[in-house]
Amino acid sequence: MSRVACIDIGTVTARLAVADVEAGRVLRLAKHSEICNLGEGVDATGRLSEDAMKRVFACVRGYVESAREAKAEAVCCTLTSAARDAENACELGAALDSLGLDPLVIPGEIEGALTFLGVARDFPGKRILVADNGGGSTELALGSLRLDGALDLSFVRSIDVGCRRVTEKFLSAGPLPSDADLEAAHAFAAEGFAPAIAEGGLYAAGDERAVEGAPEHLVVCGGTVTSLVAVSLGLSPYDPSRVHLGRLSREKVEELERRLAGMTVEQRAELPGLQAKRAPVILGGAVAVSELMRQTGFGELIASESDLLFGLATAAASALSGEDSPVIWKPTMRPLR
């Protein structure tokens, strides 16, 4: 059995997982997360701000120490959409290297494959569409985890539609968004999603547009959807066991979107189930998720807590043991001293 530490630095949240992995299966995974907003302003400027990089560095420094205390053998570190977009991401990379990490900016398609690997363990043999709705992008992956444990991915695409990107483009001009702001946000999301959905045949099974091999379920992960489930249940404190595999109808997602659109950021921050730091971007995320459901024809989604970190932990353990990676990509592991 291997104990590995995985640090994933997203556009909104930086996260740590310490996982015990045996024979390609995650037996135990402990997660920690902190909203650092690395992608703040990146869509407009194309650069990571000094303040955002300082927030991430301080957070990750604590994560490295936590991984040592948990007696992880080695650690890997990945960065996603904000780092892909920022021309100065190498500055953050150099700072993280000083912590003993080998930070890797991963392509969106690798991010989507890793997320699918993490999610699909709860749906063996099922053909599913997995959507990882993040801050700067949404990764869409169609396939199945076969009963023999092999991954069968037929389509993976990363779309530049995420909660922070939608918010900064359309929903941050005033205390409450106008109808025109919301319409523009939905149009942006639809324009991003529609071509990939058509190309990949991502329409829900039973939809009039569905093709052979259409997905049976839409499984969504990321802070937006887990927050929407928590808000719908009024969870305070947050309880991942009640959120994981929770279901939301498209009508419920649209209802939550309308509710959030009628509230200021300060009012959203008071909602049971929602982290206060996520309040500024939760409406943008709800727009993205509801538009994705509309475009694919799914009437219901399933939320998953088993996300990129689960897949990354599996790939990390494979790299540590010298075995082939299930997603044809290996993270660089650094020993923890």
Same fold, 2-106+315-335 and 122-304: yes
Q: How confident is the model at residue 325 (pLDDT cuts 50, 70, 90)?
A: confident
Kindly state the helix (H) or strand (E) to which residue 127 belongs, with its residue range: none
Phi and psi torsions of 174, nearest 5°: -150, 180
Q: Is the pLDDT of residue 337 over 80?
A: no
What value does the mean pLDDT of the chain take?
95
pLDDT tens figures, 81-111: 999 999 999 999 999 999 999 999 999 999 9
- State the pTM of this model: 0.96
Cα 131 to Cα 218: distance, rounded to the nearest angstrom: 7
Of the candidates 266, 272, 286, the residue with the CA atom closest to the CA atom of residue 231? 272
| Both structure tokens of 76 | 């890997």
- The fraction of the chain above a pLDDT of 90, given in percent, is 91
User: What pLDDT, on the 0 to 100 scale, is given for residue 248?
Assistant: 98
Q: Which top CATH class is 2-106+315-335?
A: alpha beta
Cα 132 to Cα 206: distance, rounded to the nearest angstrom: 23
Domain chopping of the chain, boundaries: 2-106+315-335, 122-304
What is the CATH number assigned to the segment(s) 122-304? 3.30.420.150
Q: How confident is the model at residue 150 (pLDDT cuts 50, 70, 90)?
A: confident
